[in-house]
Chain A
Amino acid sequence: MMPARNRTDGGRRGILRLQLLSLLPVTLAAILNSGYQYLNGLAAAPGGDDLRSQLARGLASSFEGPGLYEYFAVGLAQLLPMLLLALLVGGFWERVIAERCRRPIEPGYVLIALLFTLLLPGAAPFTHIIFGMTCAILLGKGVFGGDGKSFLSPVLLGVAIVQVSFASASGSHPLWKGVAGYAGSDAFALYHRGGEAALAQADIDLWSAFFGAIPGPMGTTSLLAVALGAALLLLTRVIAWRLLVAQIIGLIAIATLVDWMGAETGIGAMPAYWHLLLGSFAFGAVFLGCDPVASACTNPGRWIQGFLIAALVILIRVANPTHPDAVIPALLLASILAPLIDHAVIAWNIKQRARRHV
């Protein structure tokens, strides 16, 4: 009766499966790194008394010494409860909306929950997850869209609302190393405060940043894992290569430009490779900036949006000290502008063609 709809739904589900698969390396890296960061933090500070900390400490003591298995077990104890809670909250609201609107349950909330969790710090309080996922599904998915129709990514909305709402969700808050009471913070915030010297003091070099053994939002630390996911998405053509290339070239070009313009210290003097390695730019560019639904869909529009995202990231990073890792607001703003960019490109194209045929 409805072959067309079945086909589009099947296609949508296939894309969803690919997107989830592409997040596998990132998730693995997130688990390993959260475990590593947690145990690192535990060596420096006693940690909190809450259930999660106790669980992780118990796990840590059941291994003989630090090693991959231990990191994995402790990291899993960090990430899994958060992911399950996000899935639970997302699934609950998705069910409520589906019943109210008399439509089948859309499986997109699984991807939203996974991306949302990966963008949180390792010890994000459960209230943040509940609040953020509620906003993401109710506002981002229920009110303003749905699978394949969102005008901006519900993940972005959820994370942005959490970051704006709670002081402890900002990158420089002590929660961020994964252990309550330990005054570590996001690697980007470290650079923000002390430049290269602070990074060296925290044992962060180019390689550890590339493999992702640095503190930061769980899923965003490893450039290697993000690149693997990006390769899969590019090969299967789920994301547009122009958007991704534009973002990366834009970031490198604009960061170098700002560097040239003569800032001596701070983010203005930060070399382009650190911009790419620290903070959540790589993750955001691949999994959110190239969102197949909410980004520009004309080829010139993709170049424009990519450069716009890069420019906004650098602009906010350099100009706004209260929001060190500017990826989420930059992506949100560019995503809102995407339909406008497309509209302008199409109007320009129509005008060009009309002029050719007078």
Chain B
Amino acid sequence: MQDNNWRILTRPLIDDNPLTLQILGICSALAVTTSLDTALLMSLVVVCVLAVGSAVVSLMRRQIPRSVRIIVQITVIATLVIVVDQLLQAYAFELSKRLSVFVGLIITNCIVLGRAEGYAMHNGVVASTLDGIGNGLGYSLILIMVGAIREFFGKGSLLNLQILVPTSQGGSFEPLQLMLLPPSAFFIIGGIIWLIRRRRPRQVEKPEFSLRDERRISK
């Protein structure tokens, strides 16, 4: 049982990662990863919401009528997100201003609703909580990697600590403005997906078609 719980917690990190395998929650991953601190805070918030949300939905799963289950799940998630949002505004106002609407938008984050509907509705409290934490951590892992890469190459700093001196201050590092624009997150996430699938060829999807020329060369 211990082993099984361990798998539930760790499987979403790489093998079944919500961002890189299921391609969910991309929107927020583009928006909050211009610097590492916002990525970290967003990760923390999503882990909390996912863990508590999955636990609550799992506890209520026998009482929820099937026909209104999505509404109930959304209500639970929305309540949690609003509480977290208020907490952030109270204790980390500057950061919460930079995260702007994206904390509120966790309500519509596919990962949260997906785990509630796909897992917590059919499994016990312990397993659901672990699954929520695991998926949150899988999301966080990618978010933190992307945030670190973007902040390092876009500003030459990490967690607002200047590591490379930019040319505007007399240094030799020319910041990559591309990294501060949303498309760069697409490139980076694409690169991460490619890396993971090289290591785990099982995740590679079958090509929908192949060029005739290439088929002949491979023979």
State which residues 45-69 of B face A: CB under 8 Å: none
Interface check A161, CB cutoff 8 A? yes
Q: Find out whether the CB atom of A103 lies under 8 angstroms from the CB atom of B177.
A: no
Q: Find out whether the CB atom of B174 lies under 8 angstroms from the CB atom of A164.
A: no
Which one of B174, B177, B213, B217 lies within 8 Å of A127 (CB-CB)? B174
Task: Give the residues in chain B near A235, CB-CB below 8 Å.
Answer: none
Which one of A5, A139, A168 lies within 8 Å of B174 (CB-CB)? A168
Which one of B176, B181, B211, B213 lies within 8 Å of A166 (CB-CB)? B176
Q: Find out whether the CB atom of B176 lies under 8 angstroms from the CB atom of A165.
A: yes
Interface check A14, CB cutoff 8 A? no
Interface check A125, CB cutoff 8 A? yes
CB distance from A10 to the nearest CB of B (A): 15
State which residues 189-219 of B face A: CB under 8 Å: 211, 213, 216-217
Q: Find out whether the CB atom of B177 lies under 8 angstroms from the CB atom of A165.
A: yes
Which one of A5, A125, A139, A166 lies within 8 Å of B216 (CB-CB)? A5
Task: Give the residues in chain A near B211, CB-CB below 8 Å.
Answer: 149
Question: In the complex, A321 Cα to B174 Cα: how many Å?
Answer: 23
Tell me the nearest residue of chain B to A103, going by C-beta: B217
Interface check B70, CB cutoff 8 A? no
Q: Find out whether the CB atom of A125 lies under 8 angstroms from the CB atom of B174.
A: yes
Task: Give the residues in chain A near B176, CB-CB below 8 Å.
Answer: 131, 165-166
Q: Find out whether the CB atom of B217 lies under 8 angstroms from the CB atom of A166.
A: no
Tell me the nearest residue of chain A to B167, going by C-beta: A168
Which one of B179, B181, B213 lies within 8 Å of A5 (CB-CB)? B213
Question: In the complex, A108 Cα to B174 Cα: how many Å?
Answer: 30
Tell me the nearest residue of chain B to A125, going by C-beta: B174
State which residues 89-113 of A face B: CB under 8 Å: 103
Task: Give the residues in chain B near A358, CB-CB below 8 Å.
Answer: none
Task: Give the residues in chain A near B181, CB-CB below 8 Å.
Answer: 164
Question: In the complex, A164 Cα to B178 Cα: how many Å?
Answer: 6
Tell me the nearest residue of chain A to B194, going by C-beta: A143
Task: Give the residues in chain B near A43, CB-CB below 8 Å.
Answer: none
Chain B interface category by residue count: 10 to 19
Task: Give the residues in chain A near B177, CB-CB below 8 Å.
Answer: 164-167
Q: Find out whether the CB atom of A2 lies under 8 angstroms from the CB atom of B216.
A: yes
Task: Give the residues in chain B near A139, CB-CB below 8 Å.
Answer: 187
The 8 A CB mask of A25-45 against B (1 = contact, 0 = none) is 000000000000000000000
CB distance from A129 to the nearest CB of B (A): 13
Tell me the nearest residue of chain B to A168, going by C-beta: B174
Given contacts A5-B213, A103-B217, contact A161 B178 (CB under 8 A): yes
Question: In the complex, A234 Cα to B216 Cα: how many Å?
Answer: 34
Task: Give the residues in chain A near B213, CB-CB below 8 Å.
Answer: 5
CB distance from B155 to the nearest CB of A (A): 13
Question: In the complex, A164 Cα to B174 Cα: how many Å?
Answer: 13
Most buried by A among B167, B178, B179: B178
Question: In the complex, A125 Cα to B216 Cα: how many Å?
Answer: 43
Question: In the complex, A5 Cα to B217 Cα: how many Å?
Answer: 10
Question: In the complex, A131 Cα to B177 Cα: how many Å?
Answer: 13
Task: Give the residues in chain A near B167, CB-CB below 8 Å.
Answer: 168
CB distance from B180 to the nearest CB of A (A): 10
Tell me the nearest residue of chain B to A104, going by C-beta: B217
CB distance from A212 to the nearest CB of B (A): 29
Task: Give the residues in chain A near B174, CB-CB below 8 Å.
Answer: 125, 127, 166-168
Question: In the complex, A2 Cα to B213 Cα: how many Å?
Answer: 10
Q: Find out whether the CB atom of A165 lies under 8 angstroms from the CB atom of B217.
A: no
The 8 A CB mask of A150-174 against B (1 = contact, 0 = none) is 0000000000010011111000000
Task: Give the residues in chain B near A131, CB-CB below 8 Å.
Answer: 176
State which residues 150-169 of B face A: CB under 8 Å: 167
Task: Give the residues in chain B near A5, CB-CB below 8 Å.
Answer: 213, 216
Question: In the complex, A139 Cα to B184 Cα: how many Å?
Answer: 13
Tell me the nearest residue of chain A to B173, going by C-beta: A127
20 A-B contacts (beta carbon < 8 Å): A2-B216, A5-B216, A103-B217, A125-B174, A127-B174, A139-B187, A149-B211, A164-B177, A164-B181, A165-B176, A165-B177, A165-B178, A165-B179, A166-B174, A166-B176, A166-B177, A167-B174, A167-B177, A168-B167, A168-B174
Q: Taking beta carbons and an 8 Å cutoff, which residues of B are in contact with A?
A: 167, 174, 176-179, 181, 187, 211, 213, 216-217
Q: Which 10 A-B pairs have the closest CB atoms?
A: A165-B178, A165-B176, A164-B178, A165-B177, A166-B174, A161-B178, A167-B177, A164-B177, A127-B174, A5-B213
Q: A5-B213, A127-B174, A167-B174 are in contact. List 19 more A-B contacts (CB 8 A).
A: A2-B216, A5-B216, A103-B217, A125-B174, A131-B176, A149-B211, A161-B178, A164-B178, A164-B181, A165-B176, A165-B177, A165-B178, A165-B179, A166-B174, A166-B176, A166-B177, A167-B177, A168-B167, A168-B174
